[in-house]
Structure 1
Amino acid sequence: MPALRRAAGVLAAVLTASALSLATAGQAAAADVNNAKNAGYESGLTNWTCSAGSGTTVSSPVHGGSAALRATPAGQDNARCTQAVAVRPNSTYTLSAWVRGGYAYLGVTGTGTTDVSTWTPDSSSWKQLTTTFTTGASTSSVTVYTHGWYGQAPYYADDVSVFGPDGGGGGDPEPTIPAAPAGLAVSTTTSSSVSLSWNTVPGATGYNVYRAGTKVQSATGTSATVTGLSPSTSYSFQITATNTAGESAKSTAVTATTAQSGDGGGTALPKHVVTGYWQNFNNGATVQRISDVQSQYDIIAVAFAEATATPGAVTFNLDSSGLGGYTVDQFKADIRAKQAAGKKVIISVGGETGRVSVGDAASATNFANSVYSLMQTYGFDGVDIDLENGLNATYMTQALRSLSAKAGPSLILTMAPQTIDMQSTSNGYFQTALNVKDILTVVNMQYYNSGSMLGCDGKVYSQGSVDFLTALACIQLEGGLAPSQVGLGLPASPRGAGSGYVSPTIVNNALDCLTKGTNCGSFKPSRTYPALRGAMTWSTNWDALAGNAWSNSVGAHVHGLP
């Protein structure tokens, strides 16, 4: 019997161990859940506490369901809304939320390890913020929060998620796979891109774009632009909706045919371009004729058109005496020669002392008519908006739309805002750029004469570094502009600006960081932007005075980008 007892004991031990193993495996395999309660604000502010009465729920705009949070910063209050969320110790969670409107922050405190947060500048459409955190050995509850920023517009939040092991505090029901998107339509086409839009799908947290049955990109909102297409070619597109439960069936297909080569927003230009301002005056830099402009420059912006007595209207007067007797006929002939060499020559409106104002419908019409008249008179390919004293997004958009209708799809449209103008999508310049995105060639923000500025990661960066260029470019790249519409604007020499000059090596490193993820500073973008349009300088004249060091280095580098 001892042998039998021993065998029975071994069998019992094995069965017990097996049972424990199965139980442990069952716990380990338990599905992660969203531990946040009332995550979509469908029950008002239940489970949420907002500082100073700053929060309320609204029925529009919403990301999913029928409600969303609207929180308004006021005075010294940043509209902080919080929820205590039950979690498990020693566990990793993904924190996310969909936001829009003013500056919006998402974060968590009380993790027992490293508290984390993320943020975004103003956004006119829903954008997902996501970060991860790990709890400490004794952490059973964390505080999740959203907040805005002092003096900024209200922000909206919806569909908050604290996704990970069940903390035991209960949460919202698990999502179901969303329905297939409806309303898929073609918005605009160029020779190399197709813009699509579709209806919001309840419960969806993202969308996938398919071309001929193959996924080509993802989107967080209800629109997307597919680039890299061939001219005069027909393409079929479908959309799916996604959330944590899975991916929907594909939408009904739509077909779009791209335009002929050279049509639309300057697509006849190279993939990567170098823009240089040409000075119609002598301020100590090398005096040039258009024919003298260095060959590295793809777009030559003639500076500047001037305001007239008619509101919104502009004119251009060649400074023949200041330019050594340069005649109008020679000027026109030089423009034609540059164009024959594949370059674009445009008229720039504004500048540091420019006082062009487009503030109503009449001045918008005057602006469009006068710019188009200059294009016809001198042969300009388009216009550059370099208004450094603010602009009205509504009427400048109207003016540029009217000009586009007159000039046709080959219009070159560039902008050169100051850094402060592109810190937020609520600013007039940023709004205008987004409003005319389908006809916009490139925005070359001026990374000079600005002082320190916020980057897209919420940190403050000073002029003179790779980080200043990349972290500020990130705001535009993630704020709605296509990478092919973003350029870096820098002085060609220390004398070209009051501050902000950096060596061509710094410019090239920033271009590499944004397009390839190499040569970055402390800031490294979350993704790369191979289609980044290029770089701009003030000016071709200061570049010439410095021995063409800028165009020889940056120009060659831009044209060698992937």
Structure 2
Amino acid sequence: MRLWSGAVATALALTLAGAGPASAADINNAKNAGFESGLANWTCSAGSGTAVASPVHAGAGALRATPAGQDNARCTQAVAVKPNSTYTLSAWVRGGYAYLGATGTGTTDVSTWTPDSTAWKQLSTTFTTGTSTTSVTVYTHGWYGQAAYYADDVSVFGPDGGGGGDQPSTIPSAPAGVTVSGSTSSSVSLAWNPVSGATGYHVYRGGTKVQSVTGTSATVTGLAASTSYTFQITAANAAGESAKSAAVTGTTTTTPGGGTGIPKHAVTGYWQNFNNGAAVQKLSDVQAQYDIIAVAFADATSTPGAVTFTLDSAGLGGYTVDQFKADVRAKQAAGKKVIVSVGGERGTVAVNDAVSATNFANSVYSLMRTYGFDGVDIDLENGLNATYMTQALRSLSSQAGPSLVLTMAPQTIDMQSTSNGYFQTALNVKDILTVVNMQYYNSGSMLGCDGKVYSQGSVDFLTALACIQLEGGLAPSQVGLGLPASTRGAGSGYVSPTVVNNALDCLTRGTNCGSFKPPRTYPGLRGAMTWSTNWDATAGNAWSNAVGPHVHGLP
């Protein structure tokens, strides 16, 4: 489970656009932003760019730029800006790997990117200019050896920098086609049709402006469960703001999550059904700070999708199946949940079609009945098929009922984007999902929800990556921080319990943060996980003795 290493960020950390409300003075400061005038105002490296009539996002033109050799097809424009001002930089892209960024901001330069896509995607980020900054360079580029990328409708939206941009002369019309595209227990997602000439949109809830975005979708968060809200959208540009759209009603769901009798804030620990040099434990030896104990691991069988569990009695000093079952019942009597973990670093379980999905569900449910497990943990480190794993978990839920405890332990790379199979699966089963304990170790540097790269081993790494899940659709109660219990528990990524506790405080209370500040606090955050109870015991239970009481004392 814990030895994968050396990854770099290869997926875009998606954030929900949340720029502050625009004023009447805000404009798109980019010139020829839609490439309607060819490459006027743009410079592309090594002759890599050309204006094309198809495909386009809007209008009659778009940029096509092709990386070749050591050239990454970088196209730039110098844009006039005002000092001490905040701008939203956005563009629509498709094709090969596409990057968008700004340099020379006078503060922190910014960038964001996406892997290849056959459909148009909007990239968006924000930057603030320095006290003497009057011009920034905005850019797009692709990546070496990748296919050509397309870009269209670039926007540097904010105070008028005096350079003149692509400004409309009339106020746009009110948006049409406003729909509720999704909801959770604390959020409602909206979508609407694009409006010609609009450079931004405002979201109103109950008549009050609550959000401004540059794209044609938004997610309003911080809502109460099982509650109906009305929403309207307006379109805006330099000439002003449109009338409000027709109102739509969105209703939040009930509080999500599977499992019963689990504390609001819980500690998960993996118990090793093998001897790898860590302290050998019986299940009864696992100390009381652990609320969920994941038995590692169930193994694949020769039947596609099916799993089995065999107690390593010899490796565990003669621990018998009857003793193990009795210890499961004793832990449950003490208010703990004991689940079986599927996969691990060397796990080869594959659920890739309807038959294997059924086999997976039936075999896991059989293990639950045989050993008394409360549920299952999905720790498949070689990828998963969202469609069929979703099918398998829903089938398991229908057999086990609402008491099923369902946890996941993806690697950091698996949760960088909501388009990843692991993230998709988590969102697909959100109504029965207990917690996702992402592994914040053995990963190397990764993107945070602000589009910046963070190195593992810091408070920022934990909080900025947790933010992706928290802002990407999971409820706070479904997010936990997974860390090694000791330096011997993983190849890299160990942090002291103090760092873990600081990250928990930052996310739940807004205190003890590093340089990254989450957009809001998440007092319902589930807690923390560790690999493993055995390595924790080897180190004198230092991790659980420090992190456990802190988790249980969260707001």
TM-score range, shorter chain: 0.7 to 0.9
**What residue is the counterpart of 2:437 in the other structure?**
444
Contact 2:501–2:547 (Cα < 8 Å) also in 1: yes
Distance 2:431 2:72 in 1: 35
Cα deviation per residue 1:247-267 (whole Å; 9 max; x = unaligned)? 7636544364754x7x74347
SS of 1:502's partner is coil
1:516-527 alignment, distance < 5 Å: 516-525=509-518, 527=520
Cα deviation per residue 1:399-457 (whole Å; 9 max; x = unaligned)? 33444454455543322222343445555434444554454433222222334445556
**What residue is the counterpart of 1:35 in the other structure?**
29
Contact 2:92–2:122 (Cα < 8 Å) also in 1: yes
Q: 1:44 to 1:268 in 2, by over 3 A?
A: farther
TM-score after normalising by structure 1: 0.76
SS of 1:444's partner is strand
Answer 1 or 2: which has greater helix percent.
Answer: 1
Distance 1:155 1:339 in 2: 56
2:167 corresponds to 1:172: yes
Whichever residue aligns with residue 486 of structure 1, its letter is V
SS of 1:495's partner is coil
CA shift, 1:306, in A, is: 0.2
CA shift, 1:276, in A, is: 1.0
Larger radius of gyration: 1
Aligned counterpart for 2:244 among listed residues 246, 249, 259: 249
Cα deviation per residue 1:30-73 (whole Å; 9 max; x = unaligned)? 945322234355677665455554676788895x8898767676
CA shift, 1:218, in A, is: 7.4
**What residue is the counterpart of 1:413 in the other structure?**
406
2:343 corresponds to 1:347: no
Contact 1:492–1:550 (Cα < 8 Å) also in 2: yes
Single out whichever of 48-57 and 362-371 deviates more from structure 2: 48-57
**What residue is the counterpart of 1:368 in the other structure?**
361
2:315 corresponds to 1:319: no
**What residue is the counterpart of 1:128 in the other structure?**
124
Q: 1:237 to 1:533 in 2, by over 3 A?
A: farther
**What residue is the counterpart of 1:290 in the other structure?**
283
1:116-265 alignment, distance < 5 Å: 116-119=109-112, 126=122, 128-134=124-130, 136=132, 142-150=136-144, 158=153, 160-165=155-160, 167-173=162-168, 176=171, 179=174, 182=177, 184-185=179-180, 187=182, 192-193=185-186, 196-202=189-195, 203=198, 205=200, 208=203, 210=205, 222=217, 224=219, 229=224, 233=226, 235-241=228-234, 243=236, 245-246=240-241, 249=244, 251-254=246-249, 256=251, 258-259=253-254, 264-265=257-258
Distance 2:342 2:160 in 1: 58
SS of 1:494's partner is coil
Distance 1:213 1:340 in 2: 51
**What residue is the counterpart of 2:383 in the other structure?**
390
**What residue is the counterpart of 2:483 in the other structure?**
490
1:320-335 alignment, distance < 5 Å: 320-335=313-328
Q: 1:494 to 1:410 in 2, by over 3 A?
A: same
CA shift, 1:490, in A, is: 0.9
The runs of 5 or more residues in structure 2 that have no matched partner are 1-22
Contact 1:208–1:242 (Cα < 8 Å) also in 2: no
**What residue is the counterpart of 1:512 in the other structure?**
505
**What residue is the counterpart of 1:15 in the other structure?**
none
Cα deviation per residue 1:479-526 (whole Å; 9 max; x = unaligned)? 554544332211112222233222111111222233333323344445
Cα deviation per residue 1:451-482 (whole Å; 9 max; x = unaligned)? 44455566654443323333443444455545
2:291 corresponds to 1:301: no
Cα deviation per residue 1:502-554 (whole Å; 9 max; x = unaligned)? 21111112222333333233444455444433211011222233232211211
Contact 1:105–1:148 (Cα < 8 Å) also in 2: yes
**What residue is the counterpart of 2:549 in the other structure?**
556
Distance 1:213 1:301 in 2: 47
Q: 1:110 to 1:409 in 2, by over 3 A?
A: same
Contact 2:410–2:439 (Cα < 8 Å) also in 1: yes
Whichever residue aligns with residue 129 of structure 2, its letter is F
Q: Give the percent of matched residue pairs that are identical in Structure 1 and Structure 2.
A: 68
2:93 corresponds to 1:81: no
Whichever residue aligns with residue 169 of structure 1, its letter is G
2:493 corresponds to 1:500: yes
**What residue is the counterpart of 2:18 in the other structure?**
none
Q: 1:466 to 1:50 in 2, by over 3 A?
A: same
Q: 1:519 to 1:188 in 2, by over 3 A?
A: closer
Q: 1:206 to 1:299 in 2, by over 3 A?
A: farther
Q: 1:88 to 1:161 in 2, by over 3 A?
A: closer
Cα deviation per residue 1:201-222 (whole Å; 9 max; x = unaligned)? 5347456473x77777778764
**What residue is the counterpart of 1:310 in the other structure?**
303
Q: 1:56 to 1:347 in 2, by over 3 A?
A: farther
Distance 2:443 2:68 in 1: 27
Single out whichever of 514-523 and 313-322 deviates more from structure 2: 514-523
SS of 1:493's partner is coil
CA shift, 1:103, in A, is: 6.6
Distance 1:30 1:180 in 2: 18
Q: 1:65 to 1:206 in 2, by over 3 A?
A: farther
Contact 2:536–2:542 (Cα < 8 Å) also in 1: yes
**What residue is the counterpart of 2:273 in the other structure?**
280
Contact 1:70–1:157 (Cα < 8 Å) also in 2: no
Distance 2:51 2:406 in 1: 41
Whichever residue aligns with residue 156 of structure 2, its letter is S
Distance 1:38 1:483 in 2: 42
2:352 corresponds to 1:359: yes
CA shift, 1:387, in A, is: 1.8
Cα deviation per residue 1:154-200 (whole Å; 9 max; x = unaligned)? 576645124323525342216746635645347466xx556555444
Contact 1:350–1:386 (Cα < 8 Å) also in 2: yes
Contact 2:108–2:127 (Cα < 8 Å) also in 1: no
Cα deviation per residue 1:104-163 (whole Å; 9 max; x = unaligned)? 54434466x5683232566996453111225858x5x65322334556785766451243
Whichever residue aligns with residue 124 of structure 2, its letter is Q
CA RMSD of aligned residues (A): 4.2
Contact 1:98–1:129 (Cα < 8 Å) also in 2: no
Distance 2:344 2:282 in 1: 20
Higher relative contact order (CA 8 A, sep 6+): 2
Distance 2:338 2:51 in 1: 52
Whichever residue aligns with residue 172 of structure 1, its letter is Q
Give the total of aligned pairs: 522
Single out whichever of 476-485 and 409-418 deviates more from structure 2: 476-485
TM-score after normalising by structure 2: 0.77
Distance 1:183 1:216 in 2: 16
Cα deviation per residue 1:265-297 (whole Å; 9 max; x = unaligned)? 347644432211122223343333434433322
Q: 1:58 to 1:415 in 2, by over 3 A?
A: farther
